[in-house]
Structure 1
Amino acid sequence: MFLWGLLAMLLAAAPLAAAERPLVLVMGDSLSAAYGIEREAGWVHLLAERLDGKARVVNACISGETSSGGAARLPELLRQHAPDIVLLELGGNDGLRGLPPGQLRANLATMIEASRAAGAEVLLLGIDVPPNYGPAYRDAFTGVFQRLADRYSVPLVPFLLEGVALDHGLMQADGIHPTAAAQPAILANVWPALAPLLEADLAQTEAAH
């Protein structure tokens, strides 16, 4: 409760200059790129609205992106934006294509290490694959996120679509992508893990202001 109160106070404080505001970089695929809905309805845009100008949000998500594509793009994005926090929401397309979980693990590890080397905190956003991929592959796939979180001591949202994926009313006709109505629930899944990182960055920025 104290954390939420402090964060609310920081968000309500006097506006900072653009260059002083913490920057959140979101690296993801269609789940965060607002596929099939208006971009303004997506959870990343809703996050920016919640932050109300106290932090900047860069949505670098691309529909169809794999962890390999994200790992290739990230160095330039880190150089260009110098983010304070990097959200890694990748792996869904790796899973749907049946790519080796070890490849996903290596790519995400590379992205975590690159983000930290650039001075950014990292939040992992986990994803799942449908049961028809078989229990062995599914367990190996979902286990990647927890193992990385443990190895690098980074916060983890175990399943980005918790409370959404199995609710047909919140999914588009393809059964893969959430509707606009689902986006606030997705943000609600992310926020408890993201808020402490934002609180630390905002407090540091306010102290230096």
Structure 2
Amino acid sequence: MRALTISLLMLPLALAACDKAATPPVAEETMSALEAPPAIPVMGPERPILAFGDSLLAGYGLNDGESYPDRLEQALRGRGINARVINAGVSGDTTEAGLERLDFTLSSQKEKPELAIISLGGNDMLRGLPPATTRNNLEAILQRLKQENIKVVLLGMLAAPNLGKDYAAKFNPIYAQLAEKYDAALVPFFLQPVIDKPDLMQEDHMHPTALGVDAIVTATVDDVADALPTGAEAEASEAAQGDEKAVPPTASAGEERIAP
């Protein structure tokens, strides 16, 4: 427990230096079971999954192909799921920054994602932003995805102990409460498999190594696979989307419509 506390206490020092302009160290190449040929033939239509979040999804400090979205895609395909995981992680993003770019990210996809994996809030916490702000932004993101009939896996974060019990009491329940409200699948603490395991963490004590990512994927791949919509759910989502497109919004008088 003491080692876990020390690891979490070091999080603010690590992530405070992690912004969009940072030049991360490059992790050594690793081999893992995730790179093995699929045990089950990949079948069925492609299943687009949007991985939307911060540096934990962007692959900070890792080589190409070692990020969580990359490894997750390999793991899902190893189960015969024709997954395509889109990495929309941006290092340093807060929930506010994520909310600001969500619409652009969704509109940029060639095909509507069947599932969105959300990893945001860690930077809010490490900067000491009000938990109410984090909650409001995450809720707006979940509302937007619900409007698009996109299912969600919400990756939870915990407050560092040095922020105090009052802060933790307000921050830590956010993910479970919003997941229940918006019927999202929940991973209570995304970094749980690597905390207190120095060999699975980079030198900044915040971001996982390639082996650490593999451990996280192993712990979460079932949550993602189970959250993918069934055939009936996918058809219902497509039908709802088609109904929305069939009734275009009416421009007000004098308002010029701009094609996307």
- What's the TM-score once normalised by structure 2's chain length? 0.69
Q: Which amino acid aligns with 2:96?
A: S
The aligned residue for residue 118 of structure 1 is 148
- Aligned residue identity for 1:177: H
**Aligned mate of 1:31, from 53, 56, 71:** 56
Match of 1:72 among 96, 100, 109: 100
How does the TM-score come out when normalised to structure 1? 0.84
2: CA distance between counterparts of 1:120 and 1:201?
Answer: 14
Measured on the aligned residues, the alpha-carbon RMSD in Å equals 2.4
Contact 1:95-1:129 within 8 A present in 2 as well: yes
* Greater alpha carbon shift after TM alignment, 190-199 vs 165-174: 190-199
Residue in 1 that maps onto 2:132? 102
Stretches of structure 2 that go unaligned for 5 or more consecutive residues are: 1-37, 236-260
- 2:224 maps to amino acid: L
Aligned CA distance change for structure 1 residues 163 and 51 (closer, same or farther; 3 Å): closer
State, as a whole percentage, how many aligned pairs show the same letter.
35
- Deviant stretches of 4+, over 4 Å: 201-205
User: What is the count of residue pairs matched by the alignment?
Assistant: 194
**Deviation of 1:169 (Å):** 1.8
Distance 2:63 2:171 in 1: 30
Choose 1 or 2 for highest CA Rg: 2
1:161 and 2:225 matched: no
Letter in 2 for 1:65: D
| 1:128 Cα offset (Å) | 1.6
Q: Following the alignment from structure 1 to structure 2, what is the Cα–Cα distance between the partners of residues 167 and 132?
A: 20
Q: 8 Å contact 2:114–2:229 — kept in the other structure? A: no
Higher relative contact order (CA 8 A, sep 6+): 1
Report if the CA contact (8 A) 1:168-1:175 is conserved. Answer: yes
Given the alignment, which residue of 148, 154, 175 partners 1:145?
A: 175
Matched, 1:191 2:187: no
Report deviation, 1:139: 2.5
| 1:71–1:107 CA contact under 8 A, matched in 2 | yes
